[in-house]
Amino acid sequence: MIDKQLKAMMDKKGLTLEKLSMLSNVPIETIRNIIYRRARNPRVDTLLALSRTLDVSMESLMGESPREEEEQLLFAYRESGEHGKKFIRAIAEIEAQWQAGVDVNEEREIPCLIPAVETSDGAAFSSFDVEHVKTACENVYMAVRLPNDHFSPRYCKNDVLLLSDKFPNEGENALFLYNHRLYFRQFHISEKGYALNTINGRGTALRFRRMDSCRLIGTCMAVQ
């Protein structure tokens, strides 16, 4: 269904693959895979970027009714453990308050991931706790607090990285989830695929032919 919906919406707005990729910051290969049904379950951040660019809701893009989307969300919540449910509740509560009319120019609370243990390269998602931090930065929805100086001198221990849900541009730093571990990496595109390079040479670079091999958590927009 999503392949037909996406193609129809692109045709309605007169957008080519190249133009939609440029406007949404979604790789053209990803969009092509969706249209030709090679990617049957696109990531949420991909769908969000495309729907915002096309000025439609995610459920419209997916050809679903709001009720179907709510039922899927409820099912995912019920299937999550207590760790996952805690994150879902934290984000949902903050988003609901924001949608209720919080002025984006005023400070607001967003969920902040807190590693429970120090790690040198990549941290198990299950080891993170969540708290709330205040920020006046626009277009960010989540944060992560660094537990050490692993990314110095650019980032230091206890820095709070503010994350946007937009897909990273070439050279931007972002938080990714791969094999149940979170990695803070610099995003690069090469002829052979995609590279998530280390920030300062410490750790191991991650390389993928396709970006649906991992999940984007957020692109770093600011530090506080």
What residue ranges define each of the domains in the chain, with the CATH number in brackets? 2-66 (1.10.260.40), 80-223 (2.10.109.10)
Can you give the pLDDT at residue 129?
Answer: 85
Q: Give the CA angle between residues 206, 34, 24 to the nearest 5°.
A: 70
Residue indicated by tokens 């946007």: 164
Q: Are 42 and 61 in contact (CB under 8 A)?
A: no
Can you give the pLDDT at residue 210?
Answer: 82
Helix (H) or strand (E) holding 22: helix 17-24
Q: Are 125 and 187 in contact (CB under 8 A)?
A: no
Q: Are 219 and 168 in contact (CB under 8 A)?
A: yes
Closest of 141, 129, 161 to residue 94, by C-alpha:
141
List b or e across 86-105, with b for residues whose CB sees 16 or more CB atoms inside 10 angstroms: ebeebeeebeeeeeeeeeee
Can you give the pLDDT at residue 98?
Answer: 60
Can you give the pLDDT at residue 103?
Answer: 54
Can you give the pLDDT at residue 42?
Answer: 81
Tens of pLDDT along the chain (224 residues)?
Answer: 688 888 888 988 889 999 999 999 999 988 988 888 887 778 878 888 898 888 887 777 877 655 666 777 777 778 777 767 777 777 777 667 666 655 545 678 888 988 876 666 788 888 888 888 989 888 888 899 988 888 888 898 899 999 998 889 899 999 998 988 889 999 998 878 899 999 888 788 899 888 878 888 899 999 99
> For residues 99 and 93, what is the distance between their CA atoms, to the nearest angstrom?
10
Residue indicated by tokens 């931090």: 133
Can you give the pLDDT at residue 58?
Answer: 75
Can you give the pLDDT at residue 152?
Answer: 83
Can you give the pLDDT at residue 104?
Answer: 46
